[in-house]
Amino acid sequence: MLVLAVSLIVFLAIRIPIGFAMGASGLLYFMIHQPALISVLPARVFSGMDSAVMISLPLFIIMGHLMNRGGLTSRLIGFCMLFVGRLRGGLGMVSVMASMIFGGISGSSVSDAASIGQVMIPAMEEKGYPPRVAAGLVAAASTMGMVIPPSIPMVIYAFVASESVGRLFLGSLIAGVLVGVFMMTITLILAHRNRYPAEKVDVSAAELWRCSAQAIPALLMPLIVVGSVVSGVTTATESAAVGTVYALLVGMFVYKGLKLADLPGLFRDAILSSANVMIIIAFCGIFTWILALEHVTETVGLLFARMELQATAALLVVTVIVLLVGFFVDVSPAILLLTPIFLPALKLLGVSPIQFGVVLITGLAVGLVTPPVGMCLNVCSSISGLSIINVFRGAAPFLLANALVLALISIFPELSTWLPALIMD
């Protein structure tokens, strides 16, 4: 394991992409310790991707791209403005609420940050919000994109943990909504303290009907995708296909922001994003095999037993590790690396795989807004023109919402397990 860990760190330090770094360090391990098994490696690499659930991954990515390019953002922001725009700090509240809804459509925090940030960061700056607060709020709010279902990281975790995608979607819903509620509360408190303005909003019946009618096609997306999986009408892969077709029709014929000429570039971006994740998944299969050969999961379980940790205490320890890993490792490889190490040990202590999955995704979401790797931090830095350190300082107060929710779902398993049990059992 020392060879594996040290070689991986060295490969990452010289900027080899993480998927290839994992593959190279795994190959080095087998060359030194298990040369007789090298001939089996190609089969293990391909078996790591051989799952019907993984077909849903590129479909969810395409679905998010289609809705984003189709003209969703402006209509979504107009809809949110009706509800919270008149409050002090209305634009900040709109950013959080729009991110909540957008997260239920795109399944990606990075897409959330890019789409909402391009509109809301300049708008907040014009209204007198400090630039780092405007960029930091959008970055922090985008963390809900991978927690609120449908969620691309949840699909990856479901594949690794052999869990139901529908149950994970339901299990993460309460956590995602709580992050949004707490973040809006923090925004409201800071707005009163710093005298951020309220917005003048037309709330006439005609305007309410207009904005609602424009937003309804987008709001139906998560209901169609998540509802079809939870009800058992479709599998996760089939629901992703249905959602993709629906997004295409809405973007082209309802919002009319999507043109045929946009599709080749859109599909190219989706293919590249999917291929990047699939390469990591493929080579991470070698890592999982090495963990089994070295009995790492049994060692972790024995460590927890010797420390005499109860389920909640062990999960809190793992939560701290997840947060630390999120500082330096992107979401997908972190899920693939941490799940096979900690999930078996936590299951022996009675922790539900659904609860661990929600804790894992919620914790790694914080890493998207922490330097140096944070992808959402970099997106908002690019939009605002600020350094990532300044954006992080602006985001820090709002990340208290994530920290509070992370503690709650670690201590109270019912926040993750109650809704799946209520609807699917």
Per-residue pLDDT tens over the stretch 204-213: 788 888 888 8
Q: If we measure between CA atoms, which residue out of 155, 175, 160 comes closest to residue 344?
A: 160
Over residues 165-191, the mean pLDDT reads 93
**35 in any annotated domain:** no
**346 in any annotated domain:** yes
pTM of this structure = 0.84
Rounded CA separation 394/412 (Å): 30
Domain count, the chain: 1
Rounded CA separation 160/154 (Å): 10
What is the per-residue pLDDT across 358-403, written as a single tens digit (0 to 9) for each?
999 999 999 889 887 788 888 898 888 888 899 999 999 999 999 9
243 φ/ψ angles, rounded to the nearest 5 degrees: -65, -35
What is the per-residue pLDDT across 222-251, written as a single tens digit (0 to 9) for each?
888 888 888 888 887 888 888 889 888 888
CA neighbours within 13 Å on the CB side: how many for 26? Answer: 27
pLDDT reading at 1 higher than 70: no
User: Containing domain of residue 331, as a range?
Assistant: 18-29+40-424
- Per-chain mean pLDDT for the chain: 85
> Token digits for 380?
């908002």
**1 in any annotated domain:** no
**3 in any annotated domain:** no
What is the per-residue pLDDT across 273-298, written as a single tens digit (0 to 9) for each?
778 778 877 787 777 778 777 777 67
**389 in any annotated domain:** yes
Residue 179, pLDDT score:
95
Contact 133/27 with Cβ under 8 angstroms?
Answer: no
Over residues 325-337, the mean pLDDT reads 83
Residue 133, pLDDT score:
93
Residue labelled with tokens 């999982």: 288
pLDDT reading at 202 higher than 80: no
Residue 353, pLDDT score:
95
**250 in any annotated domain:** yes
**13 in any annotated domain:** no
How big is the chain by its Cα radius of gyration, in Å? 22
**8 in any annotated domain:** no
> Token digits for 364?
């790694």
Contact 269/86 with Cβ under 8 angstroms?
Answer: no
